[in-house]
Amino acid sequence: MDPIDDFNGQLVRWRHHLHRFPETGFNEHRTSDYVSEALRMLGLDVQRGIGGTGIVATLRAGRGPGVIGVRADMDALAITEVDTARPHASRHAGCMHACGHDGHMAMVLGAARLLATTPDFDGTVRFIFQPAEEHGRGAAAMLRDGLLERFPIDEIYGAHNIPGMPAGHIATRAGGIMASEDNFVIRVHGRGGHAARPQMAADPLVSAAEIILALQTVVARNVDPSDPAVLSCTEIHTDGIRNAIPSNVEIRGDTRSYAPAVQALLERRIREICNGIAAAHGVRCEVDYTHEFVPTVNTAACADAAVRAAQAVVGVDKVDANVRPMMISEDFGAFLNVMPGAFVFIGNGAADRPGGVPLHNSAYDFNDAILATGAHYFAELVRQRLPSATR
């Protein structure tokens, strides 16, 4: 068999197996077993159980002191896959890899195979498989579990597939590339009653409706237009029925931003608006506001390194070195808070082409055509950051 065909076939086999058996955050036990065995078969030193189900596999070549980390996320989403005709469709009901972490793992496994087969670098590589990215908890769990003390790393690199970007194109930027995410829960407490006698009730649903509409003015009228920010109400629940005014209404949502001052402004205005509207209607209001994801901010020198490696793999014309920041969030930002590194986007396919279905969609599937691109990108990045005298 042609070595290239064998390599590409192995990437697809890894990815399809991982897609068939998705697991949600901190439950990636079968996933961890499979990935660990694949790494051991490549001859790497594999350590498990870091931050729960996390894995760190180490590969050394030469005597160089440099250490590069390459990270993949492992968890899936609690979404039911609609395309059950796929040969690799999820076999776990109500769970699927709708964000492409199956592909990310396969790409990093591919980079490990490339570097283990041809160790033309001088130093150490840590292949990090992180649990629970979707909930923004896995990176912190690995760090609390002594990731950097047990496995020192000089720089760390990651990637995410992006539907809507042409397949195989790579994009990054120095500085902020993905936003923070904060979550809020607003609870409005009134006095329920019969729908035919509203004068006997203190209707929390009317207050909740006003709150939702008023919150849409925060970004438009309180945030400096030059500062990126998003505020979204995404859920509303009541304890009422069709012919009864509820006593309690709960609103859930999130905010996205880059600057700490904007985060603080969004939280303050949410609380002020909720309390003010509640007081005007004679109901009570509580606001829980939590910080889930920090912004993902690329180190300038590492972003430059990522661009050079990407250009070497896909060509200058397929690399965007100054992509516009996105308001999505990524747990990788927690790593960049404590060490240098860079994150890139790899195009999964334009909107009307294979790979163009949006992330977190029940019909999404990772585009197998970009698996080799990601694997070669990570391997090239290691070779450039840990150059061997013989290369």
Binding-site residues from annotation for Mn(2+): 99, 101, 134, 160, 360
Dihedral pair phi/psi, residue 308, rounded to 5°: -60, -45
CB-CB contact of 348 with 355 (8 Å): yes
Among 328, 255, 337, 293, smallest CA distance to 137 is for 293
Going by the DSSP 8-state scheme, the letter that residue 52 receives in this structure is T
Tell me the C-alpha distance between 309 and 54, whole Å: 27
CB-CB contact of 347 with 82 (8 Å): no
Q: Show the DSSP H helices in the chain as ranges.
A: 3-20, 29-41, 101-117, 138-144, 147-150, 204-222, 260-281, 300-314, 332-336, 371-385
The number of angstroms, rounded, from the C-alpha of 56 to the middle of its chain's C-alpha atoms is 19
Count of positions (residues) in the chain: 391
Q: Which two tokens stand for residue 87?
A: 């040969």
Residues of each annotated binding site: 99, 101, 134, 160, 360
